């Protein structure tokens, strides 16, 4: 009788292990399914307004609009962005990007107007080089050389390419008849 009791207890333990194993497997599957559902829930899409866009996003949007509808339409987006910032450096960068729209359409006089405004807001090597390039397009070598010299003086020394940029701007100024 003791053998029957041990056999029945062994069968009971085996059955309990099977049930426990099945419960563990079901819990693992349920946890995985729950995690899958949570991770794959779609978040609501919130429309991005112009005010929410970063400067880079505004530049991209304006460039796309200019490509599709012309520089004047792209410039409108830059005007909105410029009006919304009080930071002179940011205004200068946006104004320089606006000038580039007109440069790309070979409207050099209009581009120069915006580039000079950008330079008056905040002088940087990039903006001075843009002004120089526009003067060069307009065949005003002396002004182009003057602005390449200004670009060379305003190269950011923290920029890893500072030495090369400065050498380039200086060579352009020299080539156009600037300081020797």
Alpha helices in 50-161 (DSSP H): 55-69, 71-83, 88-104, 108-121, 125-137, 141-153
Predicted model pTM:
0.67
Domain range spanning residue 71?
A: 53-110
Res. 67 pLDDT band, cuts 50 70 90: confident
54-58, 92-96, 136-140: least confidently modelled range: 54-58
Output the CA–CA distances (angstroms, integers) from residue 9 to 3, 5, 82, in the order listed: 10, 6, 83
Q: Residue 13: inside a domain, yes or no?
A: no
In a domain, 103, yes or no: yes
**Is 48 a domain residue?**
no
Residue 155 in any domain: the answer is yes
CB 138 within 8 A of CB 154: no
Look up tokens 């500072």; give the residue: 162
Please report where in the chains the tokens 């049930």 appear, as a residue.
19
Q: Between 80 and 120, whose confidence is greater?
A: 120
In the chain, the number of structural domains is 2
Rounded to whole angstroms, the Cα distance separating 108 from 79 reads 19
Do 132 and 169 fall into the same domain?
yes
d(CA 118, CA 46): 33
pLDDT in tens, 109-167: 999 999 999 999 999 999 999 999 999 999 999 999 999 999 999 999 998 999 999 99
- 171: in domain: yes
CA-to-CA distance for 151 and 155, rounded, in angstroms?
A: 6
Structure tokens at 46: 């919130």
143 and 180 part of one domain: yes
Residue 115 lies in a domain: no
Query: Do the domain assignments include residue 142?
Result: yes
């Amino acid at each position: 009788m003791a053998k029957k009791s041990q056999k029945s207890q062994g069968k009971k333990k085996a059955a309990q292990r099977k049930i426990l194993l099945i419960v563990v497997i079901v819990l693992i599957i349920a946890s995985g399914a729950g995690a899958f559902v949570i991770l794959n829930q779609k978040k609501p899409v919130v429309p991005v307004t112009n005010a929410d866009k970063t400067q880079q996003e505004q530049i991209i949007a304006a460039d796309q609009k200019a490509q599709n509808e012309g520089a004047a339409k792209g410039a409108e987006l830059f005007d909105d962005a410029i009006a919304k910032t009080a930071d002179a450096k940011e205004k200068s960068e946006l104004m320089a990007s606006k000038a580039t729209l007109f440069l790309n359409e070979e409207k050099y006089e209009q581009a120069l107007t915006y580039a000079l405004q950008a330079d008056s807001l905040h002088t940087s090597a990039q903006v001075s080089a843009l002004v120089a390039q526009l003067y060069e397009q307009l065949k005003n070598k002396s002004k182009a050389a003057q602005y390449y010299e200004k670009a060379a003086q305003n190269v950011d020394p923290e920029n890893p390419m500072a030495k090369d940029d400065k050498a380039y701007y200086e060579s352009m100024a020299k080539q156009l008849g600037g300081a020797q």
